[in-house]
Amino acid sequence: MAGPKSICICGGGSLGHVIAAVLSNKGYTVNIWTSRPTQWQSEIIVNDCNGKTIKGVLNVVSGRPEDTVAISDMILLCVPGFLVEQTLRDAKPYIRPETLVGSVVCSNGFFWIARHILGSTCGLFGFQRVPYICRLIEYGKSAEIKGYKSKLKIAGCLADGKLDELAAFFSQAFDTPTYTLNHYLEATLTNSNPLLHPTRIYGMLSKETTDAFDKEFMFYEEWDDYSSEVLINCDNEFQKILEHLPVKREEIPGILEYYESTDPASLTRKIRSITAFKGIKMAMINQAGKYYVDYSNRYFTEDIPFGLLIIKSIAEAMSMDTPYIDTLLQWMQGRMQKEYLVGSELKGQDLPCSGIIQNFGIDNIRKLSDL
């Protein structure tokens, strides 16, 4: 396929840096739309885990969508959930009818946020999993690929045949086999970060009586059976939600199946053994020799309002009870000093700053399925 020739990367995180370098290195015109344009240089250097160096040259770096979005065939969002809505609103006047709009992360509600803002004719796509495990080295200059995916999967709300063409494009652009999903919800709904992170934090801290700790907690290496129990219980509720949606269950396997486990103890052993999880710590701040939980971290700002709350919002649209997820959200909102749930209902004052489906005109499963 011919595919897009020019791509606008929205956002300046590690994924934005890496994808910009990779696409430029492949010969595509790359434009960067970022809130920090003066901190970027024209050449991006990415070193990968195999000793390879990838160099990319940027066409335009700007804080203005009229300089970047307006001249691009494809818009790819690499921003956290709380920035998706405003990013799309700012981009809308400069998106041409034929421009494709996508996101590297979809579990934040990207598809219904984009459809609500951009209308029914805009072509949308998104990845089920991010294409790279990466980290930033120096902002605007360099990044590192710590791991590649063996395959990628994308979903879309596109005209017939266009998603297959897009999969072929990314297979070539990322040098990674890319396959299409049956429904956009298969890229949107996940029991990864939106369940994995909150359940671990609840298991780690819910029994503690203090906010000041003598050490940092290891997020995965100290994973315990209680965290596994909480994760399994919440995932069971999540799987019941999926039963009522047009998704292929093999695309969103249960936690025990995914981690090749049978019970909390075996799940704990599996999670503790995963090499990629080694060294990851709980988000904490050191103050006067004590460690305090960092509630400004994405574990809270992303995984709750643009993760677990989305799952709850779909359950509520089905009139489905989720007692385990409710318990988790009630505890989390207390620690975050937010109000999302009142009792077990989504009636809290902080819901407007979230990705729940009801914020974007979806109040039943038919509307959700037929986006």
For 144-177, the pLDDT digits (tens) are 998 899 999 999 999 888 999 999 999 999 999 9
2: pLDDT strictly greater than 80:
no
56: pLDDT strictly greater than 50:
yes
* CATH number of the domain to which 108 belongs: 3.40.50.720
* CATH number of the domain to which 356 belongs: 1.10.1040.10
- Residue range(s) defining the domain that contains residue 353: 193-369
- 340 and 310 inside one domain: yes
Contact (Cβ atoms closer than 8 angstroms) between residue 44 and residue 20: yes
Coil vs helix vs strand at 104: coil
- Name the phi and psi angles at 137, rounded to 5: -100, -60
- Name the phi and psi angles at 93, rounded to 5: -65, -15
Give the mean pLDDT of 65-84: 97
For 11-29, the pLDDT digits (tens) are 989 999 999 999 999 999 9
Q: What is the rounded distance in angstroms from the CA atom of residue 46 to the CA atom of residue 174?
A: 14
- 237 and 292 inside one domain: yes
What's the confidence (pLDDT) of residue 258?
95
- 223 and 197 inside one domain: yes
- 252 and 349 inside one domain: yes
Q: What is the rounded distance in angstroms from the CA atom of residue 325 to the CA atom of residue 224?
A: 19
For 99-140, the pLDDT digits (tens) are 999 999 999 999 999 999 999 999 999 999 999 989 999 999
- 161 and 209 inside one domain: no
Coil vs helix vs strand at 141: coil
Helix runs in 140-208, H state only: 162-173, 185-188, 193-205
Quick one: pLDDT band at residue 1, thresholds 50, 70, 90?
A: very low
For 260-317, the pLDDT digits (tens) are 999 999 999 999 999 888 899 999 999 999 999 999 999 999 999 999 999 999 999 9
Quick one: pLDDT band at residue 210, thresholds 50, 70, 90?
A: confident
